[in-house]
A and B are shown apart, each in its own frame.
Chain A
Amino acid sequence: MSYLELLTFARGSALNWALVICVAGIVLRLFEIFGLGRKADLAKPRSNSPGSGWRTMFTRSLPAAGMLKRDPVAYISGYVFHLGLVVVVLFFAQHIEFFNSTFRLVWPSFPTALVDASAVAAIIALCVLLVHRLNNPVKRLLSGFGDYLAWVITLLPLLTGYLAFHHMLVEYTLMLSLHIFSVELLLVLLPFTKLFHSFSVFISRWYNGDIFGRKGTAS
Chain B
Amino acid sequence: MKAVEQARSLPGTVGEGLQQRGVTRREFLKFCTVVTGMLALPPSMASAMAEAISKARRQSVIWLSFQECTGCTESITRSHSPTLENLIFDLISLDYHHTLQAASGEAAEQARTSAMKDNAGKYLLIVDGAIPMGNPGFSTIAGVSNYDMLVEAAKGAAAIVAVGTCATYGGLPKADPNPTGAVSVNDIIKDKPIINVPGCPPIPVVMTGVLVHFLTFGSIPELDSLGRPKSFYGETIHDRCYRRPFYDQGKFAQTFDDEAARQGWCLYKLGCKGPVTYNSCATTKWNDGTSFPIQSGHGCIGCSEPNFWDAGPLYKALSMPLSATLSLLGAAALAGAAAGVAITWHNRSTKAAAKSAHENVTVQELTKEAK
Contact = CB atoms under 8 A, between A and B. Distances in A.
B333 A24 contact: yes
B276 A4 contact: yes
Contacts of B340: 27-32, 35
Contacts of A7: 276, 311, 318
Interface in A1-36: 2-5, 7-8, 11-13, 15-16, 19-32, 35-36
Contact of A94 (B310, B312, B319, B328): B319
A112 B332 contact: no
B323 A16 contact: yes
A44 interface: no
B347 A32 contact: yes
A111 to B, nearest CB: 6
* A interface, over-half SS: helix
Nearest to B305: A4
Contacts of A93: 250, 252, 269
A20 B332 contact: yes
A23 B329 contact: yes
A4 B328 contact: no
A2 to B, nearest CB: 4
A16 B324 contact: yes
Contacts of A103: 326
A102 B311 contact: no
* B interface, over-half SS: helix
Contacts of A35: 340-341, 343-344, 347-348
B320 A97 contact: yes
Given A19-B329, A31-B344, A93-B250, A4 B311 contact: yes
B337 to A, nearest CB: 5
Interface string B327-342: 0110111011101110
Interface in A107-140: 109-113, 115
Interface string B308-324: 10111000111111111
Given A2-B307, A4-B305, A172-B238, A24 B326 contact: no
Nearest to B316: A101
Assign chain A's interface to a size class.
Answer: 35 or more
Contact of A24 (B236, B268, B320, B335): B335
A27 B340 CA distance: 7
Contacts of A101: 316-317, 320-321, 324
Contacts of A20: 328-329, 331-332, 335
Given A20-B328, A27-B333, A35-B344, A15 B306 contact: no
A7 B310 CA distance: 11
A110 B251 CA distance: 11
Residue with the highest number of chain A CB atoms closer than 10 Å, among B324, B339, B348: B324
A100 B331 CA distance: 19
Given A12-B323, A16-B323, A26 B308 contact: no
Given A2-B306, A27-B333, A172 B275 contact: yes
Nearest to B249: A112
A22 B335 CA distance: 11
A2 B276 CA distance: 11
B248 interface: yes
Interface in B335-371: 335-337, 339-341, 343-344, 347-348
Contacts of A194: none
Nearest to B331: A20
B17 interface: no
A71 to B, nearest CB: 36
A126 to B, nearest CB: 23
A30 to B, nearest CB: 7
A179 to B, nearest CB: 10
Nearest to B320: A101
B325 interface: yes
B226 interface: yes
B241 to A, nearest CB: 13
Contact of B312 (A8, A22, A28, A95): A8
B239 interface: yes
A49 interface: no
A173 interface: yes
Contacts of A176: 275-276, 318
Interface string A151-186: 000000000000000010000110010000000000
B347 A24 contact: no
Interface in B143-197: 169
A23 B331 CA distance: 9
A70 interface: no
A8 B307 CA distance: 10
B302 interface: yes
10 contacts: A7-B318, A8-B322, A11-B320, A13-B323, A19-B328, A31-B339, A37-B348, A97-B320, A109-B250, A172-B238
Given A8-B311, A167-B239, 20 more contacts: A2-B226, A2-B307, A5-B306, A15-B322, A19-B321, A19-B329, A19-B332, A22-B332, A29-B340, A93-B250, A93-B269, A94-B268, A94-B318, A97-B269, A97-B319, A98-B320, A100-B320, A102-B321, A103-B326, A112-B249
Interface of B: 169, 226, 236, 238-239, 248-250, 252, 268-269, 275-276, 302, 305-308, 310-312, 316-326, 328-329, 331-333, 335-337, 339-341, 343-344, 347-348
